[in-house]
């Protein structure tokens, strides 16, 4: 069957390396003896701890209560005793308060009560999702109930399930789509009801034929349209995905809701399905463990499991490790310790050997224009970075620095191996501070 493939302007073709894990079914990783569950695993305010050292918790017990508008609940992923609540390294590079839970091996769970979403109102659906601590599982971890509740003047007419998974190496969304296509679509149907969206799509890159086939088979039943996307990074970026599928451009400085389109990662849709079908809050997620490990695999992991355990489960390092990346190699964060825990936003762990590690050389720009050609936002990255470098933040802003989503396409193609994303992140941080 010849399929029409849609895409966006700019972007890069990146070696995918998905073959390492794409045929590995998701395995369940045993519960950790000690779970370290950060109270901030989402965009927004920390959750307030609702337990104290010495308390006994079960699987699914709420241990952190959301506070403020943008925040999310946090649940225990194992049954046992709270040993302490203390600052602990977080994958984003800072330390945050985390709840340490010692596993008692009982595996006892809270009583989960499934809910018939068909009988619920959109508001009740959103409430249920909020209670379950659901956040975007594509990596950004934005609280889903907030995303589902736009200001009253904004309406969503379309929704897109994001199955692009454009980051190299990662295959967890792909495995979910192959193994749980029906559940993802059902989760999508729940989101759709909460939004009241008329049209619904699921976008998948053409390097995942098996997932496309699965979804093609089942989508009509849920009135979803499967859209095949050209494999190109960053196809999974919200704005690029919306452009490719609906032809609409989210205005500069705006949000997808400004064009009435809602985007949600397929993993999140699956988690939402589980909230309603099983009554399960978000305490585990799929993680691809890949790169220079002996047996790369896809794992179902309890939140709070130290990354070290995942590396062990993958047979350990196959070569002396150089970088440990949480997320994909294009936008992931390199870690300084393997003791950090898996959080809700952890899509994958990519290990690079010491020999593979490329550190930015930051040579002078030779003005080749490659970065301009690949920038999916239509910026001139080299110039924007230079303005930040010489501390002319106003000029950087004038040249659109705030539109940058830090996809790293520019730095990827740069022959001078410049630290473009670093300068742009710095500039954005300075501007955000100023605006406060």
Site membership for other proteins, residue 314 (CB under 8 A): no
Contact 349, 289 (CB under 8 A): yes
- Among the residue ranges 123-131, 260-268, 293-301, 409-417, the one whose residues contact other proteins (CB under 8 A): 409-417
Name the residue with tokens 């017990």: 61
- Among the residue ranges 45-53, 190-198, 205-213, 333-341, the one whose residues contact other proteins (CB under 8 A): 333-341
Contact 240, 8 (CB under 8 A): yes
Phi, psi of 353 (to 5 degrees): -75, 165
CB of 96 to other proteins, least distance (A): 18
Among 159, 301, 379, 396, binds other proteins (CB under 8 A): 379
Q: Which is nearer to other proteins, 71 or 305 (CB)?
A: 305
Q: Measured between alpha carbons, how far is 273 from 281 in angstroms, rounded to an integer?
A: 11
Taking the CA atoms of residue 350, residue 351, residue 355 and residue 360 in that order, the dihedral angle to the nearest 10 degrees is 50
Question: Residue 216 is inside which H or E element, if any?
Answer: helix 209-222
Burial class (CB in 10 A: 0-12, 13-18, 19+), 225: middle
x/- map, 136-175, other proteins, by CB under 8 A = --------------------------------x-------
Q: SS3 for 34?
A: strand
Site membership for other proteins, residue 290 (CB under 8 A): no
Q: Measured between alpha carbons, how far is 387 from 194 in angstroms, rounded to an integer?
A: 44
Q: Which is nearer to other proteins, 60 or 306 (CB)?
A: 306
CB atoms within 10 A of CB 42: 28
Among 2, 113, 355, 358, binds other proteins (CB under 8 A): 358
Site membership for other proteins, residue 243 (CB under 8 A): yes
Q: Which is nearer to other proteins, 238 or 274 (CB)?
A: 238
CB of 251 to other proteins, least distance (A): 5
Site membership for other proteins, residue 272 (CB under 8 A): no
State which of positions 61-120 bind other proteins (CB under 8 A): none
# residues near other proteins by CB under 8 A: 74
Site membership for other proteins, residue 359 (CB under 8 A): yes
Q: Which is nearer to other proteins, 3 or 357 (CB)?
A: 357
State which of positions 248-267 bind other proteins (CB under 8 A): 249-254
- Among the residue ranges 41-49, 186-194, 263-271, 316-324, the one whose residues contact other proteins (CB under 8 A): 316-324
Q: Measured between alpha carbons, how far is 338 from 322 in angstroms, rounded to an integer?
A: 12
Q: Which is nearer to other proteins, 273 or 317 (CB)?
A: 317
CB of 154 to other proteins, least distance (A): 16
CB of 324 to other proteins, least distance (A): 5
- Among the residue ranges 11-19, 38-46, 56-64, 186-194, the one whose residues contact other proteins (CB under 8 A): 11-19
The tally of CA atoms less than 13 A away on the side-chain side of residue 71 is 15
Helix axes 181-195, 122-131, angle to 10 degrees: 120
Question: How far from the centroid of its chain's Cα atoms is residue 323's Cα?
Answer: 20
Question: Residue 434 is inside which H or E element, if any?
Answer: helix 420-435
- Among the residue ranges 50-58, 121-129, 219-227, 410-418, the one whose residues contact other proteins (CB under 8 A): 410-418
Q: Measured between alpha carbons, how far is 123 from 156 in angstroms, rounded to an integer?
A: 15
CB of 426 to other proteins, least distance (A): 9
Q: Which is nearer to other proteins, 3 or 361 (CB)?
A: 361
Phi, psi of 79 (to 5 degrees): -100, 135
Q: Measured between alpha carbons, how far is 138 from 242 in angstroms, rounded to an integer?
A: 16
State which of positions 14-53 bind other proteins (CB under 8 A): 14-15, 34
């Amino acid at each position: 069957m010849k399929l029409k493939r849609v895409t966006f302007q700019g972007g890069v073709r990146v070696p995918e390396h998905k073959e390492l894990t794409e045929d590995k079914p998701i395995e369940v990783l045993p519960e950790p003896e000690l779970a370290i569950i950060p109270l901030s695993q989402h965009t927004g305010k920390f959750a307030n701890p609702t337990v104290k050292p010495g308390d006994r918790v079960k699987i699914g017990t709420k241990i952190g209560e959301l506070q403020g508008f943008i925040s999310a609940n946090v649940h225990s992923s194992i049954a046992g005793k709270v040993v302490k609540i203390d600052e602990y390294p977080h994958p984003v590079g800072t330390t945050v308060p985390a709840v340490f839970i010692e596993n008692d091996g009982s595996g006892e769970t809270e009583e989960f009560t499934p809910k018939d979403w068909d009988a619920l109102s959109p508001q009740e659906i959103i409430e249920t999702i909020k209670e379950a601590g659901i956040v975007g599982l594509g990596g950004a971890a934005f609280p889903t109930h907030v995303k589902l509740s736009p200001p009253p003047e904004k309406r969503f007419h379309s929704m897109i399930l994001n199955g692009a998974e454009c980051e190299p190496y990662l295959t967890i969304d792909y495995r979910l789509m192959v193994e749980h296509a029906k559940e993802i679509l059902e989760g999508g149907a729940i989101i759709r009801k909460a939004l009241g969206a008329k049209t619904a799509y699921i976008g998948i890159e053409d390097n995942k034929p098996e997932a496309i086939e699965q979804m093609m088979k089942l989508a009509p039943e849920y009135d979803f349209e499967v859209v095949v996307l050209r494999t190109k990074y960053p196809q999974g970026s919200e704005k690029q995905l919306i452009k490719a599928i609906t032809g609409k451009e989210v205005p500069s400085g705006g949000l997808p809701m400004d064009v009435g389109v809602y985007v949600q990662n397929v993993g999140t849709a699956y988690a939402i399905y589980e909230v309603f079908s099983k009554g399960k809050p978000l305490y585990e997620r799929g993680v691809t463990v890949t790169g220079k490990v002996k047996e790369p695999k896809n794992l179902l992991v309890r939140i709070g499991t130290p990354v070290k355990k995942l590396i062990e489960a993958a047979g350990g390092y196959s070569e002396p490790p150089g970088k440990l990346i949480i997320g994909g190699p294009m936008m992931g964060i390199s870690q300084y310790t393997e003791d950090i825990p898996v959080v809700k936003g952890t899509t994958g762990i990519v290990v690079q050997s010491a020999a593979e590690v490329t550190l930015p050389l930051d040579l002078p720009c030779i003005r080749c224009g490659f970065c301009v050609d690949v920038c999916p936002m239509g910026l001139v990255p080299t110039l924007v970075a230079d303005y930040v470098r010489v501390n002319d933040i106003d000029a950087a802003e004038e040249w659109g620095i705030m539109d940058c989503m830090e996809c790293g396409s520019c730095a990827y193609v740069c022959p001078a191996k410049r630290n473009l994303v670093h300068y742009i992140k710095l500039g954005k941080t300075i501007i955000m501070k100023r605006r406060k």
